[in-house]
A and B are shown apart, each in its own frame.
Chain A
């Protein structure tokens, strides 16, 4: 369990982390998600002990570690660059923490070898890290962290140095490992798809604070504000007058147009709504319901079509499976929302 109590970290006058509090349960995988400069990496480094907080209190497994330096925390970390020591072999890299911790060299190297086997790196122990592929280097970094049997394992953007094909696999490997060993993992990323795919809990950060924290589903379906809505996948934010209707289907009035749409929760009055691009359907205009619009741009990106549609509510972004017939730019359309998310 990791607990932050109103933790702040100041660099000069900048508050990189600003009065953050949270509790992360044992055996879960939590991602810290946010744009660059939001404080997610600093938060991770605060857990690791690579930064000491300016104020507040940090507990790991019930122990107050606020002032404890990294070396004394038993928290392992996999760095974005992997940080493999270039002057040591793969095996020596993995044994490093054991040897530094006082284990006899021979025993440490043997344990390192076992760990390399477990992670499917058998036979690579004598190589130099630079002789491995990116994916292998990453697994060595993980082996090096796991061999110390840490209470907490931290990942700083672990996929950013891998090519796109490898990312999905490594992501699943990390998730499997975490489940199998029951590890408490904290994972930093700026990629929302990655966060949604691996996490039990996602913490969205913004300007040093927690914008919202919850399960991937909660954050996607019920973002607390436009920032989270936009960050958790794309979202169109629309001003509308909302009147509750039967069966959770509400009546939205946008300008002098009215349409019906299911809401993710009960709400009424004038408010902002987030509408996901995949929740917007383009149909030929029939003159009755729906929001009228003109397709400004239609782009084929493989799996789906992307549309930009000029509407009285502004320029909206919509997607449609490419199995459906494409709509050409310049076409007049009518928009229907299959789901809308009330914000605030």
Chain B
């Protein structure tokens, strides 16, 4: 049944592509009148028409349909890439179609044609009995593959190509110079020089963040699960905060505390005559900020791992005569080792990708993420250099990600079986308990102070100078609304960016969740050739740092055939493809809990895949959908690294606006805006939770999230 609908849908898309829709972006003309002058469009369109005709007229044609439709897709894309602006048109295209051949970017018509080709490929596969002979499955797989190729791989490929290009010429030597530049790898600091290469800076920071956040997280986790404390809820509450905090907000609080005019700095000066310095700007500050964000995540991971250790293991060691310290050293800790490695690597990877904190607090201490940004946005626009640095960062991240998957991912010990395992976890040895308390409580207090600063800072005159007079000033500046003759007038400076942010988040979050869950279902419940690759690649997109995505999008989508820089669309696409892997992971985890026989029962009762998906799978996946929605929404509201490249005057995002305020020294306004964002996100999560289903945020937060460069 589905396959019948799909062939008409494809034919319809092809028809509107050919007739009423404008083929090019920003033009009004439909395709047909343009065709005689544009022979390069002929082969692709001919294939598309032939494929559509085949689909309607020859219901048995499978492989042939795939070939025709795939040819259409490739030819149409290729002509778009080969013929564009003067700078991007391939020489071979000029040789074939005459010098000066140009065309604008794809518009609605071209998009419809590409969609039609994708549908026809899927239909062909289904008719050829691939993808379980189901058109829905085929469509999800093919459309997923095509869009990943267009919006993840082509941009990254573009960056890679840019590394080799200097002034329009392709050169290996240039690429080598860029990738091996002293800027990246220099060791001057060891020899008494001023600075080391930015790669070393990045690695040092990442390693420190990874190790220290794991240790702090471990202290909290031990105290929570084995400390014999009555009220550990406060840890969990503190742990959720960083997940809904824009990543650089912590930096603002640190400036308020430790900046040259900061509260602590001032106190130390007045009480102990300790001179004011700018120590916070640099490695210590960035590290502190990253630890504040990363420790709770390490805590959640390690706490889950500790709970998963069956108490009977520790009890059996105790019955064999081991004292608490020995039980801890010989049973608990070794069982925890994979989780420790996992947490450390996660912290490492997060730090690699972090952009907001180094931007705000880095000072002279540059990391790859910030250096990439300034290579693009700085006074000297150097896309080649940015590309090379982006490739280095991508390499480091993928390396760490690979290590995590390869070395840790498969070595988690499952010690709790399905059967009830009664028993009490072993208490901490006394010495260790004192140690972790000494680490955890001060850090918890510090975290609380940092968030208190964010909360209070918004309501006082100037928390940076310790002027604590109550005021609404910052909110009025940002969010004033005036009544005028024409109705309400949103006069506050922050409204524009807030509306854009909410709009982009509200549009991208459902798409992200929907696509992520669909792909998860595809990976968990169907089998087809190439599934493993598609799944691996989807989850890998996860590891691409935001800065790299930003550079890739801004270079790839600034020119035909896909010219969407400066639009809201690029922001939405960016969020969808960056956050979708989390939806996939969540969906996979949820589907693992849902027995496959439910799908199969539905099939034996006559339901096709689309019906099963709609009536059985999606209703059962509600908690996962809520989690994916909440995550996607929060990410869209807090992300800064990728979007900072993609915003425009018309489409500015809240986080980028806040960063701008920080750079202008308006810390109080930045803090006020941040607190508004945090409250908004809490509200939205509550609403999503209420409307879509009853899922707990806590459970979502406990799942290991790898998010790079938010």
**A→B interface (CB under 8 Å):** 48-50, 52, 67, 69-77, 79-81, 83, 85-87, 96-97, 100-101, 144-145, 148, 154
* B601: contacting residue among A52, A73, A83, CB under 8 A: A83
* B619: contacting residue among A50, A71, A87, CB under 8 A: A87
- Does B696 lie at the interface of the complex (its beta carbon under 8 Å from any beta carbon of A)? no
* A79: contacting residue among B600, B607, B615, B620, CB under 8 A: B600
B window 121-148: CB within 8 A of A: 129, 132-134
Q: Which residue of B lies closest to A87 (CB)?
A: B619
Given A69-B132, A86-B620, A100-B611: A148 and B605 interface contact (C-beta under 8 Å) = yes
Q: From DSSP, what is the main secondary structure of chain A's interface residues?
A: loop
Chain A residues whose C-beta falls within 8 Å of the C-beta of B601 in the assembled complex: 77, 79, 83, 85, 144
- Does B484 lie at the interface of the complex (its beta carbon under 8 Å from any beta carbon of A)? no
B window 595-615: CB within 8 A of A: 595, 597-598, 600-608, 611, 615
B603–A81 touching, CB < 8 Å:
no
Chain A residues whose C-beta falls within 8 Å of the C-beta of B134 in the assembled complex: 69
User: In whole angstroms, what is the CA distance A154 to B605 when docked?
Assistant: 12
B605–A96 touching, CB < 8 Å:
yes
Q: 10 additional contacts, CB 8 Å, given A71-B607, A83-B600, A145-B604?
A: A50-B600, A71-B606, A72-B606, A74-B606, A76-B605, A85-B601, A87-B619, A87-B620, A96-B602, A144-B601
Q: Which residue of A lies closest to B605 (CB)?
A: A97
* B603: contacting residue among A71, A87, A148, CB under 8 A: A71
B604–A48 touching, CB < 8 Å:
yes
Q: Which residue of B lies closest to A154 (CB)?
A: B604
Q: Which residue of A lies closest to B595 (CB)?
A: A81
**From residue A142, how far is it (CB to closest CB) to chain B in Å?**
12
Question: How many B residues touch A, CB cutoff 8 Å?
Answer: 21
Chain B residues whose C-beta falls within 8 Å of the C-beta of A85 in the assembled complex: 598, 601-602, 616, 620
User: In whole angstroms, what is the CA distance A81 to B596 when docked?
Assistant: 10
User: In whole angstroms, what is the CA distance A310 to B373 when docked?
Assistant: 84
**From residue B40, how far is it (CB to closest CB) to chain A in Å?**
40
- Can you give 6 contacting A-B residue pairs, CB < 8 Å? A49-B603, A50-B604, A52-B133, A76-B604, A85-B601, A96-B607
B605–A83 touching, CB < 8 Å:
no
**From residue A281, how far is it (CB to closest CB) to chain B in Å?**
44
A67–B606 touching, CB < 8 Å:
no
The total number of A-B Cβ pairs within 8 Å is 75
A79–B597 touching, CB < 8 Å:
yes
Listed from nearest, the 9 A-B pairs whose CB atoms lie closest are A97-B605, A83-B601, A83-B597, A70-B603, A79-B597, A100-B607, A77-B604, A87-B619, A101-B606
Chain A residues whose C-beta falls within 8 Å of the C-beta of B606 in the assembled complex: 71-72, 74, 97, 100-101, 148
User: In whole angstroms, what is the CA distance A58 to B475 when docked?
Assistant: 73
Given A81-B597, A83-B598, A96-B615: A69 and B603 interface contact (C-beta under 8 Å) = yes
User: In whole angstroms, what is the CA distance A73 to B605 when docked?
Assistant: 9
Chain B residues whose C-beta falls within 8 Å of the C-beta of A76 in the assembled complex: 604-605
Chain A residues whose C-beta falls within 8 Å of the C-beta of B600 in the assembled complex: 48, 50, 70, 77, 79, 83
**From residue A77, how far is it (CB to closest CB) to chain B in Å?**
4
User: In whole angstroms, what is the CA distance A67 to B126 when docked?
Assistant: 12
Chain B residues whose C-beta falls within 8 Å of the C-beta of A81 in the assembled complex: 595, 597
User: In whole angstroms, what is the CA distance A145 to B620 when docked?
Assistant: 21
User: In whole angstroms, what is the CA distance A246 to B133 when docked?
Assistant: 63
User: In whole angstroms, what is the CA distance A49 to B608 when docked?
Assistant: 12
Q: Which residue of B lies closest to A156 (CB)?
A: B597
**From residue B661, how far is it (CB to closest CB) to chain A in Å?**
47
Chain B residues whose C-beta falls within 8 Å of the C-beta of A67 in the assembled complex: 129, 133
**From residue A7, how far is it (CB to closest CB) to chain B in Å?**
16
**From residue A41, how far is it (CB to closest CB) to chain B in Å?**
11
Chain B residues whose C-beta falls within 8 Å of the C-beta of A50 in the assembled complex: 600, 603-604
**From residue B136, how far is it (CB to closest CB) to chain A in Å?**
11
Chain B residues whose C-beta falls within 8 Å of the C-beta of A70 in the assembled complex: 600, 603-604
Given A67-B133, A83-B595: A75 and B615 interface contact (C-beta under 8 Å) = no
B597–A80 touching, CB < 8 Å:
yes
Chain A residues whose C-beta falls within 8 Å of the C-beta of B129 in the assembled complex: 52, 67
Given A86-B620, A87-B620, A96-B615: A71 and B608 interface contact (C-beta under 8 Å) = yes
**From residue A184, how far is it (CB to closest CB) to chain B in Å?**
15
Chain B residues whose C-beta falls within 8 Å of the C-beta of A96 in the assembled complex: 602, 605, 607, 615
**From residue A112, how far is it (CB to closest CB) to chain B in Å?**
12
Chain A residues whose C-beta falls within 8 Å of the C-beta of B603 in the assembled complex: 49-50, 69-71
A100–B132 touching, CB < 8 Å:
no
**From residue B1, how far is it (CB to closest CB) to chain A in Å?**
9
**From residue B267, how far is it (CB to closest CB) to chain A in Å?**
58
Q: Interface 1/0s, chain B 493-525, versus A by CB < 8 A? A: 000000000000000000000000000000000
User: In whole angstroms, what is the CA distance A81 to B601 when docked?
Assistant: 10
**From residue A215, how far is it (CB to closest CB) to chain B in Å?**
28
Residue from B129, B132, B598 with most neighbouring chain A CB atoms (10 Å): B598
**From residue A90, how far is it (CB to closest CB) to chain B in Å?**
14
A100–B602 touching, CB < 8 Å:
yes
A69–B619 touching, CB < 8 Å:
no
User: In whole angstroms, what is the CA distance A87 to B620 when docked?
Assistant: 7
**From residue A239, how far is it (CB to closest CB) to chain B in Å?**
44
User: In whole angstroms, what is the CA distance A70 to B599 when docked?
Assistant: 11
User: In whole angstroms, what is the CA distance A100 to B129 when docked?
Assistant: 23
B window 571-615: CB within 8 A of A: 595, 597-598, 600-608, 611, 615
Q: Which residue of B lies closest to A50 (CB)?
A: B600
**From residue B393, how far is it (CB to closest CB) to chain A in Å?**
38
User: In whole angstroms, what is the CA distance A306 to B595 when docked?
Assistant: 41
Chain A residues whose C-beta falls within 8 Å of the C-beta of B598 in the assembled complex: 83, 85
User: In whole angstroms, what is the CA distance A85 to B594 when docked?
Assistant: 10
**From residue B475, how far is it (CB to closest CB) to chain A in Å?**
44
Q: Which residue of A lies closest to B619 (CB)?
A: A87
Chain A residues whose C-beta falls within 8 Å of the C-beta of B607 in the assembled complex: 71, 96-97, 100
Chain A residues whose C-beta falls within 8 Å of the C-beta of B132 in the assembled complex: 52, 69
**From residue B244, how far is it (CB to closest CB) to chain A in Å?**
30
User: In whole angstroms, what is the CA distance A48 to B602 when docked?
Assistant: 12
Chain A residues whose C-beta falls within 8 Å of the C-beta of B620 in the assembled complex: 85-87
Chain A residues whose C-beta falls within 8 Å of the C-beta of B616 in the assembled complex: 85
Chain A residues whose C-beta falls within 8 Å of the C-beta of B602 in the assembled complex: 85, 96, 100
Chain B residues whose C-beta falls within 8 Å of the C-beta of A73 in the assembled complex: 604
Chain B residues whose C-beta falls within 8 Å of the C-beta of A148 in the assembled complex: 605-606
**From residue B676, how far is it (CB to closest CB) to chain A in Å?**
38
User: In whole angstroms, what is the CA distance A200 to B604 when docked?
Assistant: 24
Residue from B129, B603, B606, B607 with most neighbouring chain A CB atoms (10 Å): B606
Residue from B132, B595, B597 with most neighbouring chain A CB atoms (10 Å): B597
Chain A residues whose C-beta falls within 8 Å of the C-beta of B604 in the assembled complex: 48-50, 70-71, 73, 75-77, 145, 154
Chain B residues whose C-beta falls within 8 Å of the C-beta of A74 in the assembled complex: 606
Chain B residues whose C-beta falls within 8 Å of the C-beta of A87 in the assembled complex: 619-620
A100–B133 touching, CB < 8 Å:
no
**From residue A141, how far is it (CB to closest CB) to chain B in Å?**
8
User: In whole angstroms, what is the CA distance A272 to B602 when docked?
Assistant: 49
**From residue B122, how far is it (CB to closest CB) to chain A in Å?**
16
A69–B133 touching, CB < 8 Å:
yes
**From residue A251, how far is it (CB to closest CB) to chain B in Å?**
55
User: In whole angstroms, what is the CA distance A140 to B448 when docked?
Assistant: 55
Q: Which residue of B lies closest to A100 (CB)?
A: B607
User: In whole angstroms, what is the CA distance A70 to B595 when docked?
Assistant: 17
**From residue B124, how far is it (CB to closest CB) to chain A in Å?**
16
User: In whole angstroms, what is the CA distance A154 to B603 when docked?
Assistant: 14
Q: Which residue of A lies closest to B604 (CB)?
A: A77
Q: Which residue of B lies closest to A99 (CB)?
A: B615
Residue from B129, B133, B604, B606 with most neighbouring chain A CB atoms (10 Å): B604
Q: Which residue of A lies closest to B134 (CB)?
A: A69
**From residue A309, how far is it (CB to closest CB) to chain B in Å?**
39
Q: Interface 1/0s, chain B 603-640, versus A by CB < 8 A? A: 11111100100011001100000000000000000000
**From residue B38, how far is it (CB to closest CB) to chain A in Å?**
43
Chain B residues whose C-beta falls within 8 Å of the C-beta of A145 in the assembled complex: 604-605
* B605: contacting residue among A69, A80, A86, A100, CB under 8 A: A100
**From residue B593, how far is it (CB to closest CB) to chain A in Å?**
11
